[in-house]
Structure 1
Amino acid sequence: MVDRESVRNWVAGYERAWRESDADAVARLFTPDARYARSPYDPEELVGHDAIRGFWTVDQDAAFTMAAEPLAVEGDVAVVRVAVGYTAPREQEYRDLWVLRFAPDGRVADFEEWAYWPGKDWTAAT
């Protein structure tokens, strides 16, 4: 079971690792067989530390702001609202929901991202 404070601490560690391009932090944040879906319909979700590390190193030179707050925490699952603003190398903002399932050791076993960008459709084309 997790609580809001442990979720906030995990998110702070995630942000710190992302900001510092600390790919080694993946092992501290995620279980060895963690699943990382970049969208709820991601056909090629990332599985395991090596896959997640590879994804994290793509934006190594990015500068950004980030604000996050847990919206719901129930048992081993948390939903976190995240706002990110990239300032370099490109300007882009987005809002995000993270659905996180925690393992008993406090690391995340399942990460599902629901990202939204300004000007993008919020529904699938019919």
Structure 2
Amino acid sequence: MVDRESVRRWVAGYETAWRDSDADAVARLFTPDARYARSPYDAEELVGHDAIRGFWTVDEDAAFTMTAEPVAVEGDVAVVRLEVRYTAPDEQEYRDLWVLRFADDGRVTDFEEWAYWPGKAWTASP
């Protein structure tokens, strides 16, 4: 069973690993067969530690702030709302929702990201 505090700890670990480009943290955060979808329509979702590690790098000059708060936790699933602001090398803001499914050991087995940023259309209509 997952609770808000365990979700906050997992997200903090994710942020630290992402900030440090710590590819070894993938094994601490994700199960060996974890699925990682960078979008709900990701046709090429990442599966397993090696695939996630390959994606797990940040530009060494990147500087960002991140705030996150679980908005729903039920059973082994959590939804987290995030705001990420890159300040270098380019300024960019994202607001995300993460849908996370946790394994019994506290690692994530299924990660789905819903990312939005200013200027991106929110509708398919012209």
* TM norm structure 2: 0.96
Match of 1:100 in 2: 100
Distance in 2 (alpha carbons) for counterparts of 1:73 and 1:34? 19
Structure 2 counterparts to residues 72-87 of structure 1, below 5 A:
72-87=72-87
TM-score (norm 1): 0.96
**1:1-126 equivalences in 2 (<5 Å):** 1-57=1-57, 59-61=58-60, 62-125=62-125
* CA shift in 2, pair 1:122/1:48, >3 Å: same
Instruction: Note the residue ranges of structure 1 that are not aligned, 5 or more in a row.
Output: none
Equivalent-residue separation in structure 2 for 1:76 and 1:56 (angstroms): 24
Aligned partner of residue 93 in structure 2, secondary structure: strand
Report the 3-state secondary structure (helix = DSSP H, G, I; strand = E; otherwise coil) of the residue aligned with 2:40.
Answer: coil
> What letter corresponds to residue 25 of structure 1 in structure 2?
A
Aligned equivalents of 1:6, 1:15: Cα separation in 2: 14
Q: Deviations over 1:20-61 (max 9, x none)?
A: 11110000000000000000000110000011111112x232
Secondary structure of 1:53's partner?
A: helix
The structural deviation recorded for 1:125 is 4.3
Structure-1 separation of matches of 2:56 and 2:40: 18
Identity, in percent, stands at 86
Q: CA separation in 2, counterparts of 1:39 and 1:10? A: 20
Paired residues in the alignment total: 125
Offset at residue 123 of structure 1 (A)? 1.9
Kindly provide the CA deviation profile for residues 48-88 of structure 1, in whole angstroms up to 9, marking residues without a partner as x. 0011111112x232211000000000000000000000111
Residue 124 of structure 1 and its aligned partner are, at CA, apart by 2.5
Amino acid across the alignment from 2:11: V
Q: RMSD value over aligned CA atoms?
A: 1.0
**Secondary structure class of the residue paired with 1:27:** helix
